[in-house]
Amino acid sequence: MTENTFVPKNLLAIETSCDETAAAVLRNGRDLMSNVIVSQVPIHRKYGGVVPELASRHQLEAIVEVVEKALIDADTDRSDIDAVAVTQGPGLVGSLIVGFSFAKAMAMAQKVPLTGVNHLHAHLTSIFLQESSPSFPYIGLVVSGGHTSLYIVRDFLSVELLGQTRDDAAGEAFDKVAKILGLGYPGGPIISRLSEGGDPMAFSYPRARLPDTPLDFSFSGLKTSVFTSVKQIQGTLPVRDICASFQEAVVDVLVEKAISAAKRYAIYDIVVSGGVAANSRLRARMTRDAERLGYRTYFPRLEFCTDNAAMVGIVGYHQIRAGMVIKEDADVYSKK
């Protein structure tokens, strides 16, 4: 890293870490001029989850058009772009490579700086895409299909991992339980909708508290417990009650651990991001329980909860300003 005073005006951001192909133009690090997202959910739905080979192939098919649309929507063209930010990892290697190679080629052709962004850092700072934003440092919880991790976010460039899942991610648990119940993919939104008419106390599913590493998470026992209870039921499944009871178990743990981190580090702002942050029960419970204790809670708007390039632009802008530019031989990484 070198000292650098370059401040990008029109930054192009690209995100292809999983099954969304996304591009955005961020002006002056603040104004979102365009935000294009092409989701592959319809392609992976029939397999009940993301198929990596299909994901990379469709990334390749979509990338050129998605970037072109982001430039057009922003009323810019390639020559106006003075910096490029791209997700470097973690994620599916085949998918990451598509966006990364495209971004590298574009930065080289336009002779502008390129920065590689960590996907989780991007989720953590997606909250700055809206008016009401937290103060540093804040507790950041990323809950998605691939991750469940708790951080202290000290500023745009510095985050500290406090805990993470030992097995399934929270979103993955939603997807797997939906599969057990034959509900379709992705499971989160379906379970969330069905839970509304269900009794969250009908089944007492386990909440993994992990006394040795209390800020870590584990959801595989919960998933197994749902599976066992489903097998034991004869006749019609009380699907809504199962959904509501499962969701409540996930929400209890997420709320408890986020608040416990805030208490432990005496930090008053809590930000929840990632696909599962779209869950209305999680939003309601986190807000109620945290605010009752004097903590403030923040959730990105729904379009910024799931994967998008705008959030990559936020981190990318600050990295470029700090001179965190990557070289031509840099590569993607699948794990943190």
Closest approach of ligand KG4 to the CB of residue 306, in Å: 3
Which amino acid type is present at position 335?
Answer: K
By CB under 5 A, which span of 43-51, 74-82, 141-149, 164-172 interacts with Zn ion? Answer: 141-149
x/- mask, ligand KG4, residues 165-184, rule CB under 6 A, reads ------xx-xx---------
- For Zn ion, the binding residue among 15, 307, 316, 319 (CB under 5 A) is 307
Q: How many residues at the interface with ligand KG4, by CB under 6 A?
A: 20
The answer to whether residue 99 forms part of the interface with ligand KG4 (CB under 6 A) is no
Closest approach of Zn ion to the CB of residue 264, in Å: 26
The answer to whether residue 198 forms part of the interface with ligand KG4 (CB under 6 A) is no
* Of 322, 316, 323, the residue nearest 103 (C-alpha): 316
Q: Both tokens of residue 190?
A: 């379906």
Considering Cα of 318, then 261, then 307, then 169, what sign does the dihedral take?
A: positive
* Of 247, 132, 115, the residue nearest 178 (C-alpha): 247
Contact in structure between 80 and 10 (CB atoms under 8 Å): yes
x/- mask, ligand KG4, residues 241-280, rule CB under 6 A, reads ---------------------------------xxx-xx-
Contact in structure between 330 and 116 (CB atoms under 8 Å): yes
Within 10 A of 182 (CB to CB), how many other CB atoms are there? Answer: 10
The answer to whether residue 144 forms part of the interface with Zn ion (CB under 5 A) is yes
From ligand KG4, Zn ion, none, interface partner of 221 (C-beta below 5 to 8 A by class):
none
Closest approach of Zn ion to the CB of residue 276, in Å: 10
Closest approach of Zn ion to the CB of residue 112, in Å: 26
The answer to whether residue 187 forms part of the interface with ligand KG4 (CB under 6 A) is yes
Kindly provide the residue ranges of all beta strands, DSSP E only, lying in 69-171, ordered along the sequence: 83-89, 114-118, 138-143, 148-155, 158-164
Distances (CA, A) of 138 to 129, 200, 213, 302: 16, 30, 20, 20
Q: What is the DSSP letter of 215?
A: T
Which amino acid type is present at position 301?
Answer: R
Cα separation, 153 vs 140, in Å, equals 6
My answer on whether omega of the bond before 186 falls inside 30° of 0, hence cis, is: yes
x/- mask, ligand KG4, residues 122-151, rule CB under 6 A, reads ----------------------xxx-----
The answer to whether residue 308 forms part of the interface with ligand KG4 (CB under 6 A) is no
Contact in structure between 148 and 219 (CB atoms under 8 Å): yes
From Zn ion, ligand KG4, none, interface partner of 186 (C-beta below 5 to 8 A by class):
ligand KG4
Contact positions vs ligand KG4 (CB under 6 A) = 18, 144-146, 171-172, 174-175, 186-189, 192, 274-276, 278-279, 306-307
Contact positions vs Zn ion (CB under 5 A) = 144, 307
